Amino acid sequence: MSASILSVEGLTMRFGGLLAVDAVSFAAQRGAITALIGPNGAGKTTVFNCITGFYRPSGGSLRLTRADGSTAQLETLKDHRITRAGVARTFQNIRLFQGMTVLENLLVAQHLVLNAATGFGIGALLGLGGYRRAEAAAIARASDWLRAIGLLERADDPAGALPYGAQRRLEIARAMCTGPQLLCLDEPAAGLNPRESDELSELLLAIRDGRSAAPTPTSVILIEHDMGIVMRISDHVVVLDHGRKIAEGQPDQVRNDHHVIAAYLGEEEEA
Amino acid sequence: MNSQALGALREALIATAVAFGLFVLMVGLRTDVSTTGALFLRTRWPEVAGLCALVFVGRLILSLWNLREAKPPSLALGKLGSKAAIVFAPALLGAALVLPMIPGIGRYELDLGILVLTYVMLGWGLNIVVGLAGLLDLGYVAFYAVGAYSYALLAQYFGLSFWVCLPLAGILAAFWGILLGFPVLRLRGDYLAIVTLAFGEIIRIVLLNWVELTGGPNGIGGIPRPSFFGLPFNMSGDPNSFAGFFGIEPDPVHRVIFLYYLILALALLTNWVSVRIRRQPIGRAWEALREDEIACRALGINVTTTKLTAFALGAMFGGFAGAFFATRQGFISPESFTFIESAIILAIVVLGGLGSQIGVAVAALVMIGGFELFRDLEEWRMLVFGAAMVVIMVVRPRGLVGSRTPTVALGTRRAIGAEHVGEGRG
């Protein structure tokens, strides 16, 4: 819990005249779940899109420190490079490859490893051994994840045919199959029933502690509106409102912070 | 039930009214030349009445049929599609392999076979771009043209043989595929379609106007015919020709048979590469790109190179087919590479089912072969052709084989219904 895995400093994102994120700074600790909360339009997803390279920030720095001590400045990288640097994400509205099977979804996530094993495509085209081994390893890894999220028997079904809650879990497993150091989840509990939310909490705690199919603990940043989940599983909470950070700290601290209450309930600050 | 029948009757009447509006001028009135050479108007009311009656009865039957059928018809056909692929594909391949040996198959049938196989190959090549990667390419004929002209020009100016030029034509076409790919990387859907359409036309117009190099509208003639790995096909009978070397009677059909097997081999190569590559990371990345480009980017897939490889590989097979076309015809001109060719190839892919190898082959056979078979119908064949396309698209909106076979499975591989599979938005 000592070092920070991601430190965000003075992150600013401007869309024309609109200042969506205004000099936000916070740090996500290694091996912890950091929650990003705030009312609608607070700029949470914008911060996410900056971290994961979908937007290029107008200003500020995003530094990722990997487990081996190497760092990457995420604001300078293109989106697909950010995954290589060790950041994976899911989406607010699920983005699975609907027409591909559950297993194929998890294999596409391991594209980088598999593609490197093909030897410019020639080895795989001819069916050489090196690629076969790599593919077998990828399928084994995918199977481990399917077991972890309870979808092993649905491996050969199209992802689009899964129930909603299972699609959410599959998207998380797919992100984890890229082998990230930092997992970014955009509203993972949206649309889940209470039991599915509990399962999700368990899954996220397992991912954080390295008890899931991933061998090492993975740090998590999540955006979430379900305060029950946020308060239960997060180690650190960052609150945004109108593009500014208004509070951060332990869940209990944040819950009683009068700025946060004012932002959510719309009261005067003095009240 | 009665009200439903009345509804069907009303629908049939509306359809008849529309049909009457269409046919009253198109069929009912005809200008003919009289014996004196003057134009006169001939009326054909009985024909109009007949057509309207046909539409009325047809629509009524269709409406009543739909009333009885509660479940969508595509489900049963979908199962049929996957089963057909198992039994039908080897049968089709076997038939293609023995075709030249079947007695009664003459030069005309072989020429038709070559034509169909050329379109099968082009369809499979375009299938990589449109069916797998989901990039709508309306200018595929440009790569066909690049391949054909590459071979013709290399043979004309440098005297290179067909076997040297074939890979070169493929490489050059792939190069042009990448060149086209770069500017259109950011475009999606309709915009991509328009730019690729323009690209196809640009290539044709350059070929038409660069008279010093390409001969312009006169085309390039005297393109060397292919040799049997160095042994030319001719009637001389000397030991350095095909017939003389093998000690058989010289016959012009030898070359046609050779061309037939050549295009069959090229088409099968295209098929083999596409089938293999689908099971590879790059092939899966193409399909993932078709399903959801943003998710691909979030998984570390380089969208730029993935799209470019799809364009390049698709173009390469187009180039191979072009080189073959040039050597078969012995003469090429820009007229062979008009937009209608792109449209036909795309129609083959869409009718066959995006991403389906066997579907594309059957669609090419039906479209190109059928078009030739109905030659006797003269101008009516366009009507038959159009009607057939409408029927296929109504009955099978996702093509003959709309389902998708997974590339890998833990248990048994089950086809994925068309309702889940994305069509790509460029």
Q: Which alpha helices (H) appear in chain A, and where do they start and end? A: 44-51, 79-85, 102-109, 111-117, 122-125, 129-148, 164-176, 194-209, 227-233, 251-255, 258-265
Chain B neighbors of A158, CB-CB under 8 A: 416-417, 420-421
pLDDT of residue B1: 54
User: Which amino acid is present at B161?
Assistant: S
> What CA–CA distances, in Å, run from A225 to A1, A229, B33?
25, 9, 79
Helix (H, G, I), strand (E, B) or coil at A53: coil
Q: Which residue has the higher pLDDT, A225 or B373?
A: A225
- Among B110, B118, B137, smallest CA distance to B326 is for B118
CA atoms of B281 and A108, how far apart (whole Å): 7
Residue bearing tokens 């392999």: B97
Return residues 231-290 of B near A (CB < 8 Å): 273, 276-277, 280-282, 284-285, 287-288
Indicate which of A94, A103, A111, A184 best probes the interface with B, i.e. most B CBs within 10 Å of its own CB. A111
Indicate which of B416, B421, B423 best probes the interface with A, i.e. most A CBs within 10 Å of its own CB. B416
For A91: left if phi > 0, alpha if psi spans -120 to 50, otherwise beta; the answer is beta
pLDDT of residue B95: 86
Nearest-by-CA chain A residue for B295: A95
Q: Exposed (0-12), middle (13-18) or buried (19+): which is A53, by Cβ within 10 Å? A: buried
Residue-wise pLDDT tens digits, B311-328: 999 999 999 999 999 999
The angle that helices A164-176 and A194-209 make with each other, rounded to 10 degrees, is: 10
- Residues B121-151: b if buried by 16+ CB within 10 A, e if exposed: bbbbbbbbbbbbbbbbbbbbbbbbbbbbbbb
Which of A31-40, B63-72, B250-259, B390-399 has the least mean pLDDT?
B63-72
Determine, yes or no, domain membership for A177.
yes
Task: Give the ipTM.
Answer: 0.89
Determine, yes or no, domain membership for A254.
yes
For residue A171, the enclosing domain spans 4-265
In which band, very low, low, confident or very high, does the pLDDT at B83 lie, cut at 50, 70 and 90? low
Using the predicted structure, report yes or no on whether residue B217 has a pLDDT greater than 70: yes
Q: Exposed (0-12), middle (13-18) or buried (19+): which is B101, by Cβ within 10 Å? A: exposed
Determine, yes or no, domain membership for A211.
yes
Tell whether A167 is within 8 A of chain B (Cβ).
no
User: Which amino acid is present at B419?
Assistant: E
CA atoms of B181 and B163, how far apart (whole Å): 28
pLDDT of residue A25: 92
User: Which amino acid is present at B237?
Assistant: G
Helix (H, G, I), strand (E, B) or coil at A251: helix
Residue-wise pLDDT tens digits, B172-197: 999 999 998 888 888 877 888 899 99
Determine, yes or no, domain membership for A151.
yes
CA atoms of B362 and B8, how far apart (whole Å): 34
* Inter-chain CB proximity B414 and A156 less than 8 Å: yes
Determine, yes or no, domain membership for A271.
no
CATH of the domain at A168: 3.40.50.300
Tell whether A118 is within 8 A of chain B (Cβ).
yes
pLDDT of residue A143: 93
CA atoms of B288 and B294, how far apart (whole Å): 10
CA distance A254 to chain B (A): 31
Indicate which of B128, B294, B408, B425 best probes the interface with A, i.e. most A CBs within 10 Å of its own CB. B408
CA atoms of A50 and A244, how far apart (whole Å): 15
CA distance A86 to chain B (A): 10
Cβ partners under 8 Å of residue B343, min gap 6: B138
> For B281, which of A100, A111, A158 is closest by C-beta distance?
A111
CA atoms of B79 and A59, how far apart (whole Å): 55
Using the predicted structure, report yes or no on whether residue B213 has a pLDDT greater than 70: yes
CB B126 within 8 A of CB B188: no
Q: Exposed (0-12), middle (13-18) or buried (19+): which is B187, by Cβ within 10 Å? A: middle
Residue-wise pLDDT tens digits, B26-53: 888 888 888 888 888 888 888 889 989 9
Ranges of residues in chain A whose predicted pLDDT is under 50: 1, 271
Kindly calculate the radius of gyration of chain A based on its CA atoms and give it in whole angstroms.
19
Determine, yes or no, domain membership for A13.
yes
CA atoms of B302 and B163, how far apart (whole Å): 35
The structure tokens listed for A197 are 């939310």
Residue A232 burial (CB count, 10 A): 15
CA atoms of A251 and A246, how far apart (whole Å): 14
pLDDT of residue B75: 45
* Inter-chain CB proximity B285 and A111 less than 8 Å: yes
Using the predicted structure, report yes or no on whether residue B76 has a pLDDT greater than 50: no
State the count of interchain CB pairs (< 8 A) between A and B. Answer: 137
Average pLDDT, chain B: 85
Return residues 125-154 of A near B (CB < 8 Å): 125, 127, 131, 135, 139, 143, 152
- Among B422, B415, B369, smallest CA distance to B95 is for B369
pLDDT of residue B71: 46
CB B274 within 8 A of CB B127: yes
Nearest-by-CA chain A residue for B418: A99
Percent of chain B with pLDDT over 90: 34
Q: Which alpha helices (H) appear in B279-330, and where do they start and end? A: 281-291, 293-298, 303-329
The structure tokens listed for B74 are 């595509």
Report the domain count for chain A. 1
pLDDT of residue B266: 94
* Inter-chain CB proximity B416 and A101 less than 8 Å: yes
Residue-wise pLDDT tens digits, B245-288: 777 777 778 888 899 999 999 999 999 999 988 888 899 999 99
CA atoms of A183 and A181, how far apart (whole Å): 7
CA atoms of A116 and B207, how far apart (whole Å): 40
> For A98, which of B277, B410, B420 is closest by C-beta distance?
B420
CA atoms of A96 and A88, how far apart (whole Å): 14
In which band, very low, low, confident or very high, does the pLDDT at B331 lie, cut at 50, 70 and 90? very high
Residue-wise pLDDT tens digits, B86-130: 777 888 888 888 888 888 778 888 999 999 999 999 999 999 999
pLDDT of residue B398: 81
Determine, yes or no, domain membership for A48.
yes
CA distance A143 to chain B (A): 9
pLDDT of residue A76: 87
Cβ partners under 8 Å of residue B338, min gap 6: B141, B204
The angle that helices B281-291 and B303-329 make with each other, rounded to 10 degrees, is: 110
> For A178, which of B300, B408, B413 is closest by C-beta distance?
B300
Helix (H, G, I), strand (E, B) or coil at A246: strand
Q: Exposed (0-12), middle (13-18) or buried (19+): which is A266, by Cβ within 10 Å? A: exposed
The structure tokens listed for B69 are 């059928």
CA atoms of B387 and B51, how far apart (whole Å): 14
Walk across the sheet containing A18-29 and list its strands.
A18-29, A4-15, A59-65, A71-73
Helix (H, G, I), strand (E, B) or coil at B141: helix
CB A155 within 8 A of CB B409: yes
* Inter-chain CB proximity A89 and B407 less than 8 Å: no
Q: Which residue has the higher pLDDT, B200 or B227?
A: B200
Determine, yes or no, domain membership for A218.
yes
CA distance A104 to chain B (A): 7
Query: CA torsion B416→B420→B421→B425, rounded to 10°?
Result: 180
pLDDT of residue B426: 56
Q: Exposed (0-12), middle (13-18) or buried (19+): which is A136, by Cβ within 10 Å? A: exposed
The angle that helices B107-126 and B303-329 make with each other, rounded to 10 degrees, is: 170
The mean pLDDT value for B214-222 works out to 88
